[in-house]
Amino acid sequence: MDIAIQLKKRNLEMIDHRQHVLGGTYILDKNLHI
């Protein structure tokens, strides 16, 4: 059970990080197109 919870937490962190990176690149992309 503990291992499953840790894996879920890690997956959520990876998804959150990926969204953060995508959001950052999107903002940079918008700035470049201005």
pLDDT of residue 20: 66
Radius of gyration for the alpha carbons in the chain, expressed in angstroms and rounded: 15
Q: Domain ranges in the chain? A: 1-33
Question: What is the per-residue pLDDT for 18?
Answer: 73
Q: Cα separation of 33 and 10, whole Å? A: 35
Tokens of residue 10, six digits: 């890690």
Answer yes or no: pTM beyond 0.75: no
Q: What is the pLDDT of residue 14?
A: 79
Rounded CA-CA distance 21/5 in Å is 24
Tens digits of residue pLDDT in 1-34: 698 989 899 988 877 767 666 666 666 666 666 5
Residue 5 CA to residue 16 CA, distance in Å, equals: 16
| Per-residue pLDDT at 26 | 63
